[in-house]
């Protein structure tokens, strides 16, 4: 899964989606450990920290 925060899909055909689509489950997530997720951040450091905190807390809950 390749994630882009903009609507430009440079990697068409390889699972590119926006983060909001992934969080709303409008776009499929990884289906195996062989798939990788690439996140390209273009926002402020505070937004990156908030996103990282959400992911970390979700990982703790998921175990």
Residue 26 is part of which domain span?
A: 2-62
HSE at residue 1, side-chain half, CA atoms within 13 A, is 17
Residue 17 has pLDDT above 80, yes or no: no
Burial, 5: exposed, middle or buried (Cβ in 10 Å; 0-12, 13-18, 19+)?
A: middle
pTM of the model: 0.35
Q: Are 40 and 3 in contact (CB under 8 A)?
A: yes
Q: For residue 27, what pLDDT is reported?
A: 72
d(CA 52, CA 39): 11
Q: How many domains does the chain have?
A: 1
Which residues are paired to 2 by β-bridges?
16, 38
Q: Check residues 35 and 52 and name the one with the higher pLDDT.
A: 52
pLDDT tens digits along 40-54: 667 678 888 888 899
């Amino acid at each position: 899964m390749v994630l882009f925060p903009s609507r430009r899909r440079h990697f068409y055909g390889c699972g590119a989606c926006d983060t909001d689509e992934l969080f709303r489950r409008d776009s499929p997530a990884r289906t195996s450990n062989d798939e990788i997720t690439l996140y390209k951040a273009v926002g402020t450091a505070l937004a990156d920290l908030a996103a990282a905190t959400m992911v970390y807390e979700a990982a703790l809950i998921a175990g």
